[in-house]
């Protein structure tokens, strides 16, 4: 589903070149749960932005569903991002004065789905994250863990092929973090590809595979052994 070859990204600021990715290659199959790891400055956020069509590489190739990003127009990329990709961020990125249902409906505005179907679709997504009893609550009145569940429901509302989760437990306590990772694991079991960006080993242990970056290079690409045991043990410390 996803294939990158010798992917490079260099930022240019005031005549200064800053390489973020120096030639990264890997493939991710439909239905995988992959953690992309690395310390600050390793290039993992840059990689997420490229994989999610939020940025473009300086060089190298990126294929999504057998087509390179150069084969898509800007409008096609925007439609793919809306319909095929869901995004969950550390900071939630919700509208604080809107309720749960209104926040989850937002991506449907550009989906092409008939408006009369929006509420049903949003309610189904909210139910998947266990927040039906909070549907009419303003998100400002929710806990951090509940807000992140709203963000996950919003990412699900267009039934995406892949879910990008960027440090989804970074602002949460261990109990809420564990609940969020359980939800992502369940979504993966339902067939969604999950790509997790994290610097935390205990969240990465929910994945079946780790892609580890260092200084813009792929340092290791490895299978996760005893994934459930390691993840639960670390969260319960």
CATH number, residue 46: 3.40.50.300
Distance, in Å, from the CA atom of 16 to the CA atom of 28, rounded to the nearest integer, reads 33
Residue 228 has a pLDDT of: 60
Residue 229 has a pLDDT of: 52
Residue 237 has a pLDDT of: 53
**Res. 226: pLDDT tops 80:** no
The candidate with the shortest Cα–Cα distance to 24, out of 48, 6, 49, is: 6
Q: Which residues contact 31 (CB under 8 A, 6 or more apart)?
A: 188, 191, 192, 193
Q: Is 144 helix (H, G, I), strand (E, B) or coil?
A: helix
The candidate with the shortest Cα–Cα distance to 35, out of 221, 230, 172, 189, is: 221
**Res. 83: pLDDT tops 60:** yes
Residue 104 lies in a domain: yes
Residue 59 lies in a domain: no
Domain of residue 125 covers 30-53+72-235
Residue 110 has a pLDDT of: 84
Residue 143 lies in a domain: yes
Residue percentage of the chain with pLDDT more than 90: 83
pTM: 0.92
Residue 15 has a pLDDT of: 87
Q: Which residues contact 69 (CB under 8 A, 6 or more apart)?
A: 53, 56, 62, 63, 77
Q: Summarize pLDDT for 51-77 with one digit per residue, the tens.
A: 999 999 999 999 999 999 889 999 999
Place of tokens 């057998």: 66
Residue 2 lies in a domain: no
Residue percentage of the chain with pLDDT more than 70: 95
Place of tokens 């260092």: 214
What mean pLDDT do residues 115-138 have? Answer: 95
Distance, in Å, from the CA atom of 202 to the CA atom of 167, rounded to the nearest integer, reads 12
Residue 111 has a pLDDT of: 87
CA 224: distance to chain centroid?
19
What mean pLDDT do residues 111-117 have? Answer: 90
**Res. 93: pLDDT tops 60:** yes
Residue 16 lies in a domain: no
CA 87: distance to chain centroid?
4
Estimate the share of the chain in helix, then strand, then coil, as percent rounded to the nearest 5: 40, 30, 30
Residue 12 lies in a domain: no
Residue 20 lies in a domain: no
What mean pLDDT do residues 47-53 have? Answer: 95
Q: Summarize pLDDT for 144-185 with one digit per residue, the tens.
A: 999 999 999 999 999 999 999 999 999 899 999 999 999 999
Distance, in Å, from the CA atom of 39 to the CA atom of 55, rounded to the nearest integer, reads 21
Residue 196 lies in a domain: yes
- β-bridge mates for residue 140, sequence order: none
Count of domains forming the chain: 1
Asked if 86 contacts 150 with a C-beta cutoff of 8 angstroms, the reply is no
**Res. 235: pLDDT tops 60:** no
């Amino acid at each position: 589903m996803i294939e990158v070859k010798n992917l490079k990204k260099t930022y240019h600021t005031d005549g200064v070149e800053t390489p973020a990715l120096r030639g990264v290659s890997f493939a991710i199959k439909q239905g995988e749960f992959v953690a992309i790891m690395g310390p600050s400055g390793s290039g993992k956020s840059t990689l997420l932005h490229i994989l999610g069509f939020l940025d473009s590489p300086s060089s190298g190739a990126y294929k999504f569903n057998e087509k390179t990003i150069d084969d898509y127009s800007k409008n096609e990329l925007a439609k793919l991002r809306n319909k095929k990709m869901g995004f969950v961020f550390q900071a939630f990125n919700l509208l604080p004065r809107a309720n749960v249902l209104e926040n989850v409906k937002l991506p449907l505005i550009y989906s092409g789905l008939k408006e009369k179907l929006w509420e049903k679709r949003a309610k189904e997504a909210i139910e998947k994250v266990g927040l039906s009893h909070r549907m009419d609550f303003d998100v400002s009145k929710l806990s951090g863990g509940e807000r992140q569940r709203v963000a996950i429901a919003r990412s699900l509302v267009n039934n995406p092929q892949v879910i990008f989760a960027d440090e989804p437990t970074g602002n949460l306590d261990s109990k809420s973090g564990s609940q969020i990772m359980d939800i992502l694991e369940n979504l993966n079991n339902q067939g969604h590809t999950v790509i997790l960006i994290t610097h935390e080993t205990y969240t990465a242990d929910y994945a079946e595979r780790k892609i580890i970056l260092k200084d813009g290079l792929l340092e290791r690409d490895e299978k996760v052994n005893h994934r459930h045991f390691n993840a639960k043990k670390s969260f319960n410390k």
